[in-house]
Amino acid sequence: MTRTNKSSFRWSSAALALAALSLFACAGGDDGESPGQTAEYIWELPPGFPLPAVPEENPMSAAKAELGRFLFYDKRLSLNGTQSCGSCHQQALAFTDGLALAVGSTGVVNRRSSMSLANAAYNSAQTWANPVLKTLEMQVAVPLLGDDPVELGFSGQELELLDRLHDEPRYIELFAAAFPDDPADPVNLYNLVRAIASFERRLISGNSPYDAYTSGRDPDAISESAKRGAQLFFGERFECHHCHGSFALSTSVTWEGKSSVQISYQNDALYNLDGEGAYPGRDQGLFEITGRPEDMGKFRPPTLRNVAVTAPYMHDGSIATLREVIEDHYARGGRRIEDGEDAGDGALSPRKAVFVSGFAIEPQEVDDLLAFLESLTDESFLTDPSLSDPW
């Protein structure tokens, strides 16, 4: 198995174009300050959350993040004016969209679901399975400029986008406030990317009932069932925490000052088309980037914060409910598909992650796990006016 998917490289090339622009525009040396942090920006972080790592070329500022909020929700950022970033990343759904597969502005159906942007500031890599996209700045370019699939549709039409921004009087003020030291016109693509990334770094979620319980603020914030579910989740019998650990409930996390950065990709045993672990040709995960057989079907485990509002589940939205995720997938050690083009038993895949080994589980334990997962819903995050559509 050595075939690669050219569309994956096309996606990353769009992102890398802006990454190269960032490096070119910001080359100039280290001034000795903490990378990406500025004295005037005050992080409002939940207890136990470290300071996010911020690229040196894009230090945080309140004005920049506010500009990014306007851009994030502006449908003028799609060529046909029908979608914004917020169309596929809706606040009430933890910045997902409720669809199995994301749909672009022209109606093209993506092959993957929209990932939650909750705590994306801590991701050591963005998206489901592209280790090249390490920063939010790089990721922003994918929906904006990518052409396979078309999402926002501005590939080759960047001047049209800039004309639209110049025509909005509010943007003239917002860009000037966000980038006061820009020697030229601050309304440019480089600053647009930095602003949206800055807003996305503000999407910090850590105020769920479970957080109130674990911090000691409210010992009764979650039910006894949820407490039992937490013990099961973090125990070795089910081994959930190996892929969904840390404060972010994800293992691919980084922060300022972290000594080493790791990115975890796992084969979740969703598919086993040939008895040797093959995934459908429409999406073979990390393998499409590396070409290594051992990377077949590997995807980055997402955060489980707010997971109760982000259905359907898995990289392709192919499992409808959390109960099915637990009972029909993880408990049996992989999903079995009886017939059709995707038929196969993931439990028998030789490429599945070691932690997807299956386990016996009682009905009450399923309910307890569900209660725990539901206790991770951060209502303040889902309703925070400062993260909502300003238009």
Q: Do domains 8-205 and 209-380 have the same CATH topology?
A: yes
**What is the total residue count of the chain?**
391
Residue 80 to residue 78: CA distance in whole angstroms: 6
- pLDDT confidence of residue 261: 87
Q: Residue 18's pLDDT is what?
A: 47
CA dihedral 40, 385, 194, 83 (to 10 degrees): -170
Pick the closest to residue 370 from 260, 240, 279 (CA basis): 240
Does 8-205 carry CATH code 1.10.3720.10? no
Q: What is the pLDDT of residue 22?
A: 45
Please check the confidence at residue 273 and state whether its pLDDT lies above 60. yes
Give the model's pLDDT for residue 153. Answer: 95
**Secondary structure (3-state) at 233:** helix
Q: What percent of the chain has pLDDT over 90?
A: 86
Tell me: cis bond preceding 149? Omega within 30 of 0 counts.
Answer: yes
Question: How many of the other CB atoms lie within 10 Å of CB of 328?
Answer: 14
Neighbours of 244 (CB within 10 A): 20
DSSP β-bridge partners for residue 264: none
Confidence (pTM): 0.91
* Secondary element (H or E) of residue 226: helix 224-233
The vertex-149 CA angle with 146 and 152, nearest 5°, equals: 55
175-199: average pLDDT: 94
Q: DSSP letter string over 186-201?
A: S-SHHHHHHHHHHHHH
The burial class, CB within 10 Å (0-12 / 13-18 / 19+), for 109 is exposed
Per-residue confidence (pLDDT) for residue 6, from 0 to 100: 37
Of 114, 61, 63, 125, residue with least CA distance to 91: 114
Please give the average per-residue pLDDT across 316-340, as a whole number: 97
Q: Is the pLDDT of residue 353 over 70?
A: yes
**Cβ contact 382:339 at 8 Å:** no
pLDDT band at 34 (very low <50, low <70, confident <90, very high): very low
d(CA 210, CA 115): 22
Other Cβ atoms less than 10 A from the Cβ of 239: the count is 18
**Beta partners for residue 109, in sequence order:** 103
Asked if pLDDT for residue 29 goes beyond 70, the answer is no
> Would you kindly state where each structural domain of the chain is located, as residue ranges?
8-205, 209-380
Identify the band that residue 333 occupies on the pLDDT scale cut at 50, 70 and 90. very high
Q: In the structure, how many helices (H) and strands (E) does the chain have?
A: 13, 4
Mean pLDDT of 159-174: 97
> What backbone torsions phi and psi does residue 233 show, to the nearest 5 degrees?
-60, -45
Q: Is the pLDDT of residue 38 over 90?
A: no
| Residue 80 identity (one-letter amino acid) | N
User: Domain 209-380 sits in which CATH superfamily?
Assistant: Cytochrome c-like domain (1.10.760.10)
Q: Say yes or no to pLDDT of 8 above 60.
A: no
Beta carbons of 252 and 125 less than 8 angstroms apart: yes
CA distance 75 to 190: 19
Contact by Cβ (8 Å): 47, 215: yes
Residue 4, pLDDT > 70, answer no
